[in-house]
Structure 1
């Protein structure tokens, strides 16, 4: 891969992963609610999931969307439905007298599987129905792969670029959320934040649909 093409790839990877989208809105909310460290598995899962989409696209799975366009339509419908559900859950998250009490309660209540931050495998599986992640995979493979003997090399470069650039890019959102935890100790602020994050998560659909 030529240096100029690699620079373009890195730029695309940065812009694609640092800009608002479903993953970053969820990380912002998770960072605010659970802190940066507890959100790390979610971030790792996103990187693994996106890498999986890249590899599958490189192996030809992405071509199925061209042959059977209805598959991409189904994917988008599932993604939209799940994102709207997530937006609702974020907006209606319970508000307590202290954000730390809420976190502790969520940690101790093992019976409720809907509570607590995303596990790594949940973050990874979410990418399967994340339209933005698929668009990143299809666009990067279609634009930055080099045909012929350098196809594998360019494919590896794409996967590594998105992993190495993507992780710190999405980390910014989780860190920003974590910085807001003290400010969110007020129940009123917490309620407004939850509503805003729910609306922002739903609004990301305008960027990907």
Structure 2
């Protein structure tokens, strides 16, 4: 892989990862409730899901979705339902945003929540399948190139997680008033429901 190709990939990924989406919103809301350190397990869960999807795409597993058309729809409906459920919880629960019921949740539960948010968008699999190969030199061994691309994507994603987590920690200072916190919960809940609706309306 040529250096200029990798730099172009980095530039594209910086923009893609920084764009607000379910993962970033989840990290933001976790850091609001738990602080940036407390949100680390959720970040790890989101990142694990992301790397798993990217690795599956690099391995060519998206072909399975093509061979079994109904499978993608099942995943799409499940992902949309989960995101909508997160939005409903955020809208109806005053104590904390999104799916948080306590500020002392076990790390395993935080990790699981982050992983489910990250894995709930099956279109990421198809996106990664179309995106990653654009930066691979077919004349060179492909496995090391895919490994480099996935590692780069994961690193950039981590940096953005940190930025959103710090932003959530700062935002938490302004959410001590119940009325403001309720507005935040409902706003994030509405956004999650919007993500779920958009996923449900999308077509492979």
Normalized against structure 1, the TM-score is what?
0.82
Task: Measure how far apart 1:144 and its partner are.
Answer: 2.4
Decide which of 156, 160, 184 is 2:175's aligned counterpart: 184
Q: Which SS does the other structure have where 1:119 is aligned? A: helix
Which sections of structure 1, spanning at least 5 residues, go unmatched? none
Among candidates 102, 105, 109, match of residue 106 of structure 1: 102
Q: Unaligned stretches of 5+ in structure 2?
A: none
Hey, what's the Cα distance between the residues in 2 that align with 1:92 and 1:33?
Answer: 16
Cα offset, 1:128, TM superposition: 2.8
RMSD: 2.7
Structure with larger RCO (C-alpha < 8 A, sep 6+): 1
Residue in 1 aligned with 2:80?
Answer: 80
Of 157, 170, 177, the match for 1:166: 157
Q: Equivalences for 1:37-76 in 2 at 5 Å?
A: 37-76=37-76
TM-score normalised to structure 2 length: 0.84
**Given the alignment of the two structures, is residue 139 of structure 1 paired with residue 130 of structure 2, yes or no?**
yes
SS of the residue corresponding to residue 106 of structure 1 reads coil
Take 2:126 and 2:24, find their aligned partners in 1: how far apart are those partners? 16
2:22–2:118 CA contact under 8 A, matched in 1: no
Q: What CA distance in whole angstroms lies between the structure 1 residues aligned with 2:118 and 2:130?
A: 15
